[in-house]
């Protein structure tokens, strides 16, 4: 069996290691107790047992589009970011059946989007929107 010898570090090296450990610990504590609590947390998901089987899970990626007559209607008159070539009504679509729908995930209900809350939560933060057609569809 090998003998392991205690490594003797010079006093200045031990002080430098201790200072680095204290600095990292202090930074982590500031992050955990000062910076992160200021962020507005999202509410817990609204979970319901709509299927009667005791299933209390919510899969936001599996669900269906359902009519939502109370939803706001966005048109080229009310929403300036809808470009004319995306305006279905301008080009003769006879019905409005495509304008008031919402996504209903399997096993739960999504709360309606709260723009004021979103803006409060993202104020002063950077954000990137990735995609080729964001805000270009009706």
Q: Could you report the per-residue pLDDT of 106-118, keeping only the tens digit for each?
A: 888 888 888 899 9
Q: Is residue 55 part of a domain?
A: no
Q: Is residue 43 part of a domain?
A: no
Q: Is residue 122 part of a domain?
A: yes
pLDDT band for position 51 (50/70/90)? very low
What is the Cα 64 distance to its own chain's centre? 20
* Number of CB atoms found within 10 A of residue 114's CB: 11
Higher pLDDT among residues 30 and 3, named by residue: 30
Instruction: Evaluate if pTM is beyond 0.75.
Output: no
Helix (H, G, I), strand (E, B) or coil at 120: helix
Q: Is residue 27 part of a domain?
A: no
Q: Is residue 10 part of a domain?
A: no
Q: Is residue 131 part of a domain?
A: yes
Q: Is residue 95 part of a domain?
A: yes
* Domain of residue 91, residue span: 63-137
Domain total in the chain = 1
CA distance 66 to 101: 6
Q: Is residue 54 part of a domain?
A: no
pLDDT band for position 48 (50/70/90)? very low
pLDDT band for position 20 (50/70/90)? very high
């Amino acid at each position: 069996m090998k003998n392991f010898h205690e490594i003797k570090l010079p006093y200045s090296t031990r002080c430098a290691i201790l200072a680095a450990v204290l600095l990292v610990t202090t930074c982590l504590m500031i992050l955990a107790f000062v910076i992160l609590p200021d962020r507005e947390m999202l509410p817990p998901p609204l979970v319901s047992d709509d299927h009667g089987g005791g299933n209390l899970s919510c899969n936001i990626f599996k669900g269906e589009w359902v009519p939502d007559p109370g939803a706001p209607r966005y048109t080229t008159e009310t929403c300036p970011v809808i470009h004319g070539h995306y305006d279905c009504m301008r080009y003769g679509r006879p019905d409005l059946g495509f304008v008031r729908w919402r996504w209903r995930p399997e096993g739960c209900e999504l709360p309606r989007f709260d723009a004021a809350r979103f803006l409060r939560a993202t104020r002063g933060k950077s954000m990137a929107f990735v995609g080729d057609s964001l805000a270009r569809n009706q």
